[in-house]
Amino acid sequence: MTRQHPPEISGYKAFQAFTGELLKQNEFTEKFFKKYEIWVFPAINPDGVDLGHWRHNFNGVDLNRDWAYYKQPEIDIITEFIVERAKKNHNRIMLSLDFHSTSQDIYYVYDKSFKSKLKNFSRKWTDIIDQGVYPFKTVLSPEPLGKPYSKTWYYKQFKAESITYEVGDETDRAIIRKKAEIAAVSMMKLLSR
């Protein structure tokens, strides 16, 4: 998902390249989509984007601070869709990626006290990405859960791995694209093993 915060364009660019790679027909996508579904939420905050808001929606709320409260219709609709679809189709939610932008490239991951269904996925995945864009380096930042972010919601609901994929505002657009394409392919390879 992306665009919880309207002006985070570099994260949106990464999301576009990542999703584009998933839509290509090749050996990785064929094998991956036999086992997995992807749910894509490309503009969680369309009103905020349209109105040019910095971090909030039409109601003046930062949507990435509402995942524990469901007071905003955008979060309520998305979480309801995910829970209902997962129950209806007996899906096991394994991974959530939330694309954002900030001053530098950072992956916010769970700290070691939390055990997700995908053991060591975030470390393996981010290492592969960084190897593909060396010498460019992304910061890996473990953080505790508890804040009302999407990452906390995915863990509490499903014990799913969840990574906030932050892209630097000034990161070269070619690096953004290359990283995102490597991220998509390596995600498919790691999850298809």
pLDDT tens per residue across span 57-108: 999 999 999 999 999 999 999 999 999 999 999 999 999 999 999 999 999 9
DSSP secondary structure, 40-89, as one string = --S-S-HHHHHHT-SSB-TTS-BGGG-TTT--SHHHHHHHHHHHHHHHHH
Q: What angle do CA 176, 178, 182 make, to 5 degrees?
A: 115
Full residue range of the structural domain in which residue 59 is found: 9-192
Q: 142 - beta bridge partners?
A: 109
Residue 52 falls within a domain, yes or no? yes
Tens digit of each residue's pLDDT (9 = 90 or more) over 122-156: 999 999 999 999 998 889 999 888 899 999 999 99
Residue 44 falls within a domain, yes or no? yes
Residue 1 falls within a domain, yes or no? no
User: CA-CA distance, 48 to 30, in Å (whole number)?
Assistant: 36
| Total number of domains in the chain | 1
Is the omega angle on the peptide bond into residue 7 within 30 degrees of 0, that is, cis? no
* C-beta separation of 79 from 39 below 8 A: no
